[in-house]
Amino acid sequence: MVYKSTTMLTKIKNVHTLIWIFFNIVIFYMLYAVIQDRIDIWLWIGYGLVFLEALTLLLFKFLCPLTIMARKYSDSTRENFDIYLPKWLAKYTKVIYTSIIGIIVLITIYRLLT
């Protein structure tokens, strides 16, 4: 049973980390796009993906559903028990990326108005 828990937790950590990397690519493309004034379909697709992520977090009381799944296989209280990130980054990911998205929104509005 311990083996199964470890295997499942590892699978969840792998998936969670891949999704985190994917959203990094999306968010940093969005930042690049607004800085370069490339208001294109990919920017709007990025907004849609970020909106779906935000909606998911709202529905799950600001917890990632993968974190909830991982809790079934670990009683760790570490911020990074469910993802392959340094502890400090796992702890502050939402704050960091919400700030970056805020900057993207502000630059997008500026670009659309000028």
Domain count, the chain: 1
| pTM score of the predicted model | 0.90
pLDDT attached to residue 3: 64
Sequence-ordered list of residues with C-beta below 8 angstroms from that of 103, at least 6 positions apart, any chain: 31
Coil vs helix vs strand at 5 = helix
Residue 93 belongs to domain spanning: 2-113
Walk along the chain (114 residues) in steps of 10 and give the mean pLDDT of each run: 78 98 98 98 98 97 95 93 97 97 98 96
| Rounded Cα–Cα distance for residues 113 and 35 (Å) | 14
- Residue 81 sits at the vertex; the CA angle it makes with 25 and 70, to the nearest 5 degrees, is 90
- Residue 29 sits at the vertex; the CA angle it makes with 82 and 35, to the nearest 5 degrees, is 135
